[in-house]
Structure 1
Amino acid sequence: MSEAAVRVDTTSQVPPYEQIRAQLAALIVTGRLAEGDRLPTVRQLATDLGLAPGTVARAYRELEAGGLIRTRRGAGTRVAAPPAPARPHAPQLATLARDFTAAARAMGVDTESILTAVRDALGPDRPS
């Protein structure tokens, strides 16, 4: 990452750590920084920007909390893998599965019969 990628406006009302966080997040989300790209150390970026290391450390902590970067001892700070795509129907599907299995259990059906019924309901075109 080049030093020119992040700039801090010390006259802005936006705190410097937030400016750093927002700019790095934008670079990551837009793909200008890709998974595995190494970020400068906290000390190096602080020196480059003329800021206290704690300011850069806070920005990095917030990016890490947001899942955008990962810091590993000895490996440095790198852009994290993008999050897995959301499964919007997962909660509803889990509820349907619980309801179905509870009803089947109330009928005295065993686990293997429940699984067979689900497989049969999926039909022959189901993905393996």
Structure 2
Amino acid sequence: MALQISVDPDAPEPPYEQIRAGIAERARSGALPVGYKLPTVRGFAEELGLAANTVAKAYRALEADGVIETRGRNGTFVAAPGDTAAREAAAAARAFAERARRLGLDRDTALGAVQDALRAVYGD
């Protein structure tokens, strides 16, 4: 199975974001199964005709999102869904709640801010 990602140089999204989104969507849909070994940064960059730093930036974002995991010299693989993403979401939510409380916001105001942010990102 080859990783089929295309980058449109005329798209409004930068190339690294197109790569990140393409891999994330394929991983979440199951088109890239858990444990699938991704190409090396250099190899994938060469295949796409991009700088290695562009692919590396996409891989770093995917790893931060828990979509992929790097296993040292063994390579980079599609991670099992949920665990990392759920932990990071819970940590972000707690950090927000603590910050809102330090700012003196009451619970309803903080919750309203979260709901507004979710609507802005996910839509209605």
Q: Answer whether TM exceeds 0.5 for this pair.
A: yes
- Give the partner amino acid of 1:40: P
**How many residues matched?**
85
Q: Give the Cα–Cα distance (whole angstroms) in 2 for the partners of residues 82 and 27 of structure 1.
A: 12
Question: For residue 65 of structure 2, what is the aligned residue in structure 1?
Answer: 66
Between Structure 1 and Structure 2, whose CA radius of gyration is higher? Answer: 1
Question: For residue 22 of structure 2, what is the aligned residue in structure 1?
Answer: 23
- Find runs of 4+ consecutive structure 1 residues off by over 4 angstroms: none
User: The residue matched to 1:38 in structure 2 has which SS?
Assistant: coil
User: The residue matched to 1:6 in structure 2 has which SS?
Assistant: coil
Question: For residue 76 of structure 1, what is the aligned residue in structure 2?
Answer: 75
Gaps of 5+ in 1: 87-128
Q: Please list the CA deviations of residues 4-34 of structure 1 after superposition, one character each: whole Å capped at 9, or x if unmatched.
A: x100001112100000000000000000001
Q: What's the TM-score, normalizing by structure 2?
A: 0.65
Q: Percent identity, aligned pairs only?
A: 53
Q: Give the Cα–Cα distance (whole angstroms) in 1 for the partners of residues 55 and 63 of structure 2.
A: 12
Mapping of residues 90-109 of structure 1, within 5 Å: none
Q: Give the Cα–Cα distance (whole angstroms) in 2 for the partners of residues 25 and 81 of structure 1.
A: 12
User: The residue matched to 1:13 in structure 2 has which SS?
Assistant: coil
Question: For residue 38 of structure 1, what is the aligned residue in structure 2?
Answer: 37
Q: Give the Cα–Cα distance (whole angstroms) in 2 for the partners of residues 50 and 63 of structure 1.
A: 20
1:65 deviates by: 0.1
Question: For residue 53 of structure 2, what is the aligned residue in structure 1?
Answer: 54
User: The residue matched to 1:26 in structure 2 has which SS?
Assistant: helix
Q: What's the TM-score, normalizing by structure 1?
A: 0.63
Q: Please list the CA deviations of residues 73-98 of structure 1 after superposition, one character each: whole Å capped at 9, or x if unmatched.
A: 12100001112496xxxxxxxxxxxx
RMSD: 1.5
Gaps of 5+ in 2: 87-124
